[in-house]
Amino acid sequence: MLEAEADRRMAILERLGRILRKDSHKYGPLWVDFEHAEVKRNGSPVYLKNLELRLLRYLIERAGNLVSRDELLRSVWGYNRRAFTRTVDMHIHSLRQKLEQNPSQPELIVTVKGMGYKFVVGRAEH
Q: Domain residues of the chain, as ranges?
A: 49-119
Tell me, what's the pLDDT at 9? 74
d(CA 47, CA 98): 8
pLDDT, tens digit, for every residue of 80-121?
Answer: 776 667 889 999 999 999 999 999 999 999 999 989 999 997
Class for the domain spanning 49-119:
mainly alpha
Per-residue b/e over 38-60, b at no fewer than 16 CB within 10 Å? Answer: ebebeeeebebeeebbbbbbebb
Report which of residues 17 and 114 the model is more confident about: 114
The answer to pTM > 0.85 is no
pLDDT, tens digit, for every residue of 41-78?
Answer: 999 999 999 999 999 999 999 999 999 999 999 999 98
Question: What's the number of CA atoms in the CB half-sphere (13 Å) around residue 49?
Answer: 6
